[in-house]
Amino acid sequence: MRFERCYTTTPICSPARASLMTGLLPHNHGVLQVEHCVDDDQCCLRTENPHWAQRLSDAGYHTGYFGKWHIERSNRLEDFGWQVNGCDEAAAQRKLGEGIAAVGNLLEDAVLARYLEQPAGYNRVLHYAVTNVAPAQRRIGLTTNNALAFLDNVTNDDQPWACCVSFTEPNTPEIAGAEAFAKYAVDDIELPPNLNDDLSDRPALYRRQREIWQDTTDHQWRQQRAVYYAAITELDEQFGRLLDRLESANALDNTIVLVLSDHGRYLGAHGFDNHNFAAFEEIYNVPLIMAGPGIASGTHSRACVGIADLCPTLIELAGATPISVPDSRSFTHLLQDPGAENGAAYGENHGCRFTVEQRILWDGNWKFVFNGFDYDELYDLATDPFETNNVAAAHPDRCQQMMTLIWQRIHATDDDAMLGTHYPPMRMACVGPNTGQPSPTRSHP
């Protein structure tokens, strides 16, 4: 079953992953941006909040985590319910062993590489590359191998189990193997329809962001997209290895399998690459596929769900003790009835290194973006799926209605930074916090 409208809570790795684990929005779990790019007392995961893996572990599940963690700094996954710690930064890197190539070796054997070198004064960084080193000799293969060893152990007994396999690919630096890259004809790859979006009715920050990529040619965008597709092809092969192992152990029919991403990537959409800035669908709308007992097969859902909602959903499916928070809700009803409704979706962004404040609401075909640093955005995704026309100025009533719904989320989840914006210089929204049914138990001067 495929969810066409799954949204990340925020388009930044660490806070999005923390939301997946805790069911909380970033302002509540404490990780507001990438954990390694700030001081030690900033963006710290609030450990009093339980994770779904802890609930499963308490319910008797054997749990193992392999690959990219990138949620908090300790890398002590045992503290968060993962009994087998195979994260890259802790266990996995100490077990690289013979034949596993480091990034430098991948580039030494590269058949294609593009670097960003401007403006002057910045490090020369890799944009994308193609290497002759096969997946089996790269981190992507190691992550799968470690997970397969875990599966071999847990599928041989009657104890329930949970395994998380987390790949760095296709995030930056984007590297794929030559064999997979050869499957794609670069010159035939379509460019996104909004590549040359002029962004004239969007926040100025967006236009400044696009200047970073202004020297990228159409051929380079096609080349980069081919590398991305090749990386996805290699990931698909790794998923196949995992599913084959479950099938050979006669465990596939009794296993819930899900595939998702923590955020998206622009790949030239709106003239951007990577993620982090702007609130467009390319980085918020993420893939989610679920399969297994009790889940409708060969179908899709258009209901809005969020990756934070996976926390209560997985707990409910496992029959473990719930985590009940206003930030997220289980969507198990959609697994059997894909056509059911699930309400609006919600996200927030606090920026990364450069601070911004955004709150985003998806309600039916309408999408509203509150920008605390510039004017707001409103899109009708039914008529403008590539978000090239900001219609906020033409629909003030719709903007007020959706901002009111945002204030309701802010009150329900005690988003104090936003609730404190009665202060005169902060009164940026088209309507204020009192329109969102303020909580009678809290006071915000």
Residue 320 lies in a domain: yes
Say whether both 301 and 196 belong to one domain: yes
Say whether both 341 and 369 belong to one domain: no
Confidence of residue 416 (pLDDT cuts 50, 70, 90): very high
User: Mean pLDDT lowest for which of 182-191, 280-289, 400-409, 435-444?
Assistant: 435-444
Quick one: pLDDT at residue 440? 43
Quick one: pLDDT at residue 106? 72
Look at the pTM and tell me if it is higher than 0.95.
no
Q: CATH no. for residue 233?
A: 3.40.720.10
Residues contacting residue 316 through CB under 8 Å, at least 6 positions apart: 322, 330, 332
Average pLDDT for 394-422:
96
**Residue 374 reports pLDDT greater than 50:** yes
Strands 6-7 vs 305-306: parallel, antiparallel or unpaired = parallel
Say whether both 294 and 147 belong to one domain: yes
- The DSSP bridge partners found for residue 161 are 62
Out of 92-101, 274-283, 380-389, the most confident range is 380-389
Average pLDDT for 261-277:
93
Residue 444 lies in a domain: no
Quick one: pLDDT at residue 105? 67
Average pLDDT for 168-189:
94
Residue 146 lies in a domain: yes
Average pLDDT for 352-379:
95
Say whether both 322 and 394 belong to one domain: no
Residue 142 lies in a domain: yes
Say whether both 371 and 256 belong to one domain: no
Average pLDDT for 97-113:
67
Tell me which residue of 217, 191, 170, 218 sits closest to 386, measured CA to CA.
191
Q: CATH no. for residue 410?
A: 3.30.1120.10
**Residue 439 reports pLDDT greater than 60:** no
Measure CA of the first residue to CA of the last residue in the chain; give whole Å. 47
Query: What is the residue range of 78's domain?
Result: 2-346
Distance CA 135, CA 100 (A): 9
Residue 255 lies in a domain: yes
HEC string of the chain equals CEECCEECCCCCHHHHHHHHHHCCCHHHHCCCCCHHHCCCCCCCCCCCCCCHHHHHHHCCCEEEEEECCCCCCCCCHHHHCCCEEEEHHHHHHHCCCCCCCCHHHHHHCEEEEEEECCCCCCCCEEEEEEECCCHHHCHHHHHHHHHHHHHHHHCCCCCCEEEEEECCCCCCCEEEEHHHHCCCCHHHCCCCCCCCCCCCCCCHHHHHHHHHHCCCCHHHHHHHHHHHHHHHHHHHHHHHHHHHHHHHCCCHHHCCEEEECCCCCCCCHHHCCCCCCCCCHHHHEECEEEECCCCCCCCEECCCEEHHHHHHHHHHHHCCCCCCCCCCCCCHHHHHCCCCCCCCEEEEEEEECEEEEEEEEEECCEEEEEECCCCCEEEECCCCCCCCCCCCCCCHHHHHHHHHHHHHHHHHCCCHHHHCCCCHHHCCCCCCHHHHCCCCCCCCC
Tell me which residue of 342, 321, 324 sits closest to 333, measured CA to CA.
342
Strand order in the sheet with 161-166: 84-87, 62-67, 161-166
Residue 442 lies in a domain: no
- In degrees, rounded to 5, the angle at the alpha carbon of residue 56 between the alpha carbons of residues 170 and 90 is 45
Higher pLDDT, 328 or 106: 328
Residue 314 lies in a domain: yes
**Residue 288 reports pLDDT greater than 70:** yes
Whether the CB-CB separation of 121 and 101 falls below 8 Å is answered with no
Q: pLDDT of 383-396, one tens digit each? A: 999 999 999 999 99
Q: pLDDT of 134-159, one tens digit each? A: 999 898 999 999 999 999 999 988 99
Say whether both 51 and 98 belong to one domain: yes
Q: pLDDT of 47-64, one tens digit each? A: 999 999 999 999 999 999
Confidence of residue 90 (pLDDT cuts 50, 70, 90): very low
Domain count, the chain: 2
Tell me which residue of 336, 274, 260 sits closest to 125, measured CA to CA.
274
- The DSSP bridge partners found for residue 89 are none
Say whether both 380 and 331 belong to one domain: no
Distance CA 15, CA 9 (A): 8
Say whether both 223 and 137 belong to one domain: yes
Question: Peptide bond before 440: cis, by omega within 30 degrees of 0?
Answer: no
Say whether both 336 and 368 belong to one domain: no
Distance CA 142, CA 435 (A): 52
Quick one: pLDDT at residue 171? 87
Say whether both 322 and 401 belong to one domain: no
Q: Tell me the average pLDDT of the chain.
A: 92
**Residue 443 reports pLDDT greater than 80:** no
Tell me which residue of 64, 63, 66 sits closest to 88, measured CA to CA.
66
Say whether both 110 and 171 belong to one domain: yes
Residue 379 lies in a domain: yes
Which whole-number Å values give the CA distances from 345 to 147, 243, 429, in the listed order?
A: 32, 31, 19
Quick one: pLDDT at residue 35? 87
**Residue 298 reports pLDDT greater than 80:** yes
Average pLDDT for 368-390:
97
Average pLDDT for 177-202:
97
Average pLDDT for 394-413:
97
Say whether both 332 and 284 belong to one domain: yes
